[in-house]
Structure 1
Amino acid sequence: MYRLAFLIFLSALFVACGDDSSNFTPSGNDDEIPNSADSQNGSSGSQNEVSGNSSIGEVVPGPVISDDPPVEDSTVVSDSDDLPKCTSENQGEAMMVASENAIYFCYEGEWVTGVVEDIGVSCENGSLIAGMRMPLDTVSSMFGYDTVSGEFVYRRQDVSVVGIAEKGPFRFGTSVKVVELDSMNRMADSDRIHETCVVTADGSYGFDAFDVVSPYVRVEAEGYYKNELTGGLSSELIKLRNVTDLTERDSVNVNILTHIDAVVVMKLAEQGGFNTPIRMLKEQSLKKVLYAFGIKIEGFNDDLFMQGQGGMFGPGTSAVSKISDEVNLFDGDEFSAALLAVSVMLQRHGSGQEMLLFADSIAQKVANTGNWDDWTSRAHLADWLMSLDINGDFEKIRKNVASWKLGDVPDFEKHLRNFWTKELKFPECNASTDGMVSHISESQSSLFGCDYRDTTKTKLRFTCDAELGRWRAATDIEKDTVGLGADTSKYDGAIRPGVINKDKNYIYETSTGKWRVATSNDIMDFSDVADVYRNLGAGESVVFVLRHAERTNETGSKGHLTDNGKAQAKSVGAKFSGVGRIYFAYSGYTRTLETCEGIADGAGQGSINPDVLDGLDGEWYVKSGDPSIIELSSWAYRGVPAGNFYDLEDRTKELVSDYILANRSKLQKVNFYISHDRMVLPLAVYASQKKVDLRYFDEQGNRNWVNFLAGAAIIFDNAGNVRYVPVRGLESGVMKL
């Protein structure tokens, strides 16, 4: 049964990727991005994001963080002079004066500060209210009462718990609760609850001294927080938790690590039959949580990475000792960086309740299996982090956190980049992989490509930049020139379409040994014959030397045009209706004569009697033998093979001298010479100074051939001055054979 399921999976993958399912990750020779969840509206977003094109210098489609303005904190003013009037309507309200970093209360008709102890405060729904003291114990509890002695039995007395509540820092008005847990009842909540409020700007809090029956507690912080992604306030109230042990500790922080860690700690306690002190489980729990996010801290949890399985690791062997209670954003150590990194990661699903659901799902996975093994969610998180990175949003986050002025911003970016590159299966970026260009080969990613050239979901590619020490979005030229021919197939002036961006062209220079973007100075398009006529100067005349219109499969001298070919010729002639008499010449082949007749008909010329010119027979440039069309196109651009051909410039000038300038007595303002592709292709190459792309010989190039009714305009004046323009009579001057 399992074998059958596996075969079905492989079949589905093969169908999705087509015949070529190889994962080609070539080296360079020297881009569409998922739309994220609306991360500030609490939306979980789509699991099937759509990407766009990307390269350095381009804007990757978004929004990645949010186009909406950040939520402004209406309880903050710049200066005390900006405080609103204190009236009975706003009695008890609190405001932060940023210039003083002080909280003011509207109390009895005036704004006052430094009076928390005097007037008392309470907090509700994330707001601070003056004039009401928060009770120490919110219920009358019998928990810990000894019926024999008639007294409460306290494990510790006069405990003064302090800490910091932060996602970003929680705003003043955040409520903080300590709920004592009953160790005799599987750590169930007791009815002993202690409460306080955050009355600072940095999220720090402190309790009045209280006694505890149980040292095992859950600390909860509920309020608004400073959002590191937007720079504003969170859009919703959130509640973070910490399960800890107050036996030997008074300092307890609450943050996103403690929130996830709490679930893991409780699971470890359950697995130990609730007989192991919680303080003995906290370090092991934090190691598992950091491991789940791919965060390795040397001397702390690196053993987990060597084993490759979080659930196999036991406590007590670390050189570095740390528990989540001790971590905060601005300690300036590796744990601060880890905290901020995880905090950013979780906002893949918004800043409110959806974020907490995401965090809780991860916590349950870590608690039950020792790792976060939801590979689809991990891949989608990696997609989102990659989007943030290449959009420059990591720098925005750094600036937002720095603006809080609470300390140096830790190096969180390295953990985010490590996560998305590892999850999306990029190798380590170092000197040995410098310049490597790769696609996303992780099949769970919404930007997965079957192979390097697969652009079904995205044109985004990545390169290892050893100077930066990381993977970044590849520029167009980096991703488009990967694998553009072995050394033997490249030549000076070779033009190739981009490997990823087929609409872009690149040209090879032997002087530098590199490809560069082809410009209008390198590539010339064919001009429409009508435009060339309209732009003739005074005293100028033009001879359009064109390939015949579409022919039948009969290639001999008696072969005819198809019905479509006749219509093509007539459409070209219609562009010259009313220009007066037109001179026609042809090669002597039936299809070239029929082309002249069709053009004349379209131009309203009536019956014509065109001349046959020997030079138009198609072999004008061939000196000897019967060279192939590949050899013909190669010689036109590269001059090789040379033995079968005349010199391109000399032979072209001979054509102009002998068949145009010497024939001026017959020529009109507009003239058509109808020939064959084997003559017209070299002429168009010469006319464009090798800038039209008719490099059929180049198997790795566009392999264009000259189209029907395309060629060159030879323009001359009465003084014998001559200029050339590659021209087309139809929509394109090139075709595919």
Structure 2
Amino acid sequence: MKRQLLFALATAAALSAVSLTACSSDSSSSPATPEVSPTDPTQTTDPAQTQTDPAQNPSDPATQQNPSDTTSAVTPQPTDPTDTTATPADTATQPPVDTSVTQPVASDPCEGILPQPIAFPMNEFADVGEVYRNIQCNEKVVFLVRHGEREAGIGSESPLTEDGALEAQEMGAKLVGPTEFKFIHSGFVRTYQTALNIAIGRGQSQMLPDSSVVNFAADTIKQLADGWYLKDKELRDTVMKRDSIKNVNVIYAAWVYEGQYADVFYDLEERSMELLNTYVIKDYAAMPKYTLIASHDQVLMPLTAFATQKQIDLKLHEPTSRKWLSYLAGVAVIINDKNEVRYVPIKGGSSGTI
């Protein structure tokens, strides 16, 4: 009788473990990213080894380890009705069952996740932490954000300021969770440092006192730098001089929101979809659970406007309007297990615009 009772309890616990096993929170493999060069950010990429875009600057690399999580179910063994090894005993002599002991059960990967995603508005930036917490167990996400605040200079070697690094770490603290992120950057020092400091902020990586980095790797996609949407740089410079425009971002805003300077840029929809389908959106099964891409404003401003159907206001018209994409702001691209995609404009800091 005692052995039958213990066997019944074990079977019930196993069945409980099975019932709590839900959809996996991560894929078992990571995608092969097109045009990715694993390099060190201080090295120069060999143009003969990677496809280049005429408007791009060369990038600097690092290697990426792609995380994966697995869940397992416990299969209960059926009771054998022919088993006669158990010896009946007088129930009056059996010790009482201690019901105060909690039996361990398998954790639910979807525990705490809402059954339906929140419909974030398209005309304002949502906090990246809120979007991260809203990702469903059957969804994966790519966060595309502008780099953090940089030092003066727009060259590829211009680093983050101390405030820029700190703000990136504060953004990373909003993304704390058990599953690691895959990181991608454009190859510029500031995008590499942005990705690194976000990883440090979420506890995935760390920097030692001697400035060496522990447990951080990233892929480099140099096409995701300023110039992705630019078709004719010489014509851009000509019309800026002709129209007395000093800030190139004014031309970007006029093109995106008003259709001006169409001969200077590629078609917004076609070029945005090319970027997404080439470097961002893969088949659901081939994607990591979480990816973060650190890029630039002249990539992410048009992409964010496209993804929100221009509902997000980034209309820069000097001197009347100074709205532009802020540091650590951009768009989240979310894909579910049916390969359906939704977009959310996101901010890593206090505001999505500057």
Q: TM-score, normalised by structure 1?
A: 0.28
2:249 and 2:319 map into 1 onto residues whose CA distance is 13
Q: Is the 8 A contact 1:714 1:724 kept in 2?
A: yes
Alignment of 1:505-654 (within 5 A): 524-606=123-205, 607-625=215-233, 627=236, 628-654=248-274
Q: Is the 8 A contact 2:158 2:190 kept in 1?
A: yes
Report the alpha carbon displacement of residue 665 of structure 1 after superposing the two structures with TM.
6.8
- Aligned partner of 2:36 in structure 1 is none
Matched, 1:677 2:285: no
681, 686, 706: which one pairs with 2:325? Answer: 706
Report the alpha carbon displacement of residue 525 of structure 1 after superposing the two structures with TM.
1.1
Report the alpha carbon displacement of residue 723 of structure 1 after superposing the two structures with TM.
1.4
Alignment of 1:396-545 (within 5 A): 524-545=123-144
Report the alpha carbon displacement of residue 619 of structure 1 after superposing the two structures with TM.
1.6
Higher strand fraction: Structure 1 or Structure 2?
1
Report the alpha carbon displacement of residue 668 of structure 1 after superposing the two structures with TM.
2.1
Change (3 A) 1:663 1:709: farther
Q: Is the 8 A contact 2:169 2:200 kept in 1?
A: yes
Aligned length: 214
Q: Is the 8 A contact 1:661 1:720 kept in 2?
A: no
Change (3 A) 1:699 1:524: same
Report the alpha carbon displacement of residue 666 of structure 1 after superposing the two structures with TM.
6.5
Report the alpha carbon displacement of residue 664 of structure 1 after superposing the two structures with TM.
6.1
Tell me the amino acid that sits aligned with residue 280 of structure 2.
I
Q: Is the 8 A contact 1:615 1:659 kept in 2?
A: no
1:522 and 1:691 map into 2 onto residues whose CA distance is 9
In structure 1, the gaps of 5 or more residues are 1-520
Report the alpha carbon displacement of residue 522 of structure 1 after superposing the two structures with TM.
10
1:683 and 1:621 map into 2 onto residues whose CA distance is 9
2:336 and 2:122 map into 1 onto residues whose CA distance is 27
1:664 and 1:718 map into 2 onto residues whose CA distance is 6
2:336 and 2:121 map into 1 onto residues whose CA distance is 28
1:698 and 1:522 map into 2 onto residues whose CA distance is 27
Report the alpha carbon displacement of residue 543 of structure 1 after superposing the two structures with TM.
0.7
| SS of corresponding position for 1:706 | coil
In structure 2, the gaps of 5 or more residues are 1-119, 206-214, 237-247
Change (3 A) 1:716 1:670: same
Query: What does the per-residue CA deviation read over 1:350-370, in whole Å, with 9 as the maximum and x for residues that have no partner?
Result: xxxxxxxxxxxxxxxxxxxxx
Matched, 1:694 2:314: yes
Tell me the amino acid that sits aligned with residue 540 of structure 1.
E
Change (3 A) 1:537 1:577: closer
Change (3 A) 1:621 1:728: same
1:522 and 1:673 map into 2 onto residues whose CA distance is 22
Identity %: 37
Tell me the amino acid that sits aligned with residue 674 of structure 1.
A
Change (3 A) 1:666 1:566: farther
1:718 and 1:538 map into 2 onto residues whose CA distance is 9
Query: What does the per-residue CA deviation read over 1:182-235, in whole Å, with 9 as the maximum and x for residues that have no partner?
Result: xxxxxxxxxxxxxxxxxxxxxxxxxxxxxxxxxxxxxxxxxxxxxxxxxxxxxx
Tell me the amino acid that sits aligned with residue 592 of structure 1.
T
2:202 and 2:191 map into 1 onto residues whose CA distance is 17
Tell me the amino acid that sits aligned with residue 335 of structure 2.
F
Q: TM-score, normalised by structure 2?
A: 0.57
Tell me the amino acid that sits aligned with residue 173 of structure 2.
A
Q: Is the 8 A contact 1:713 1:726 kept in 2?
A: yes
Change (3 A) 1:567 1:577: same
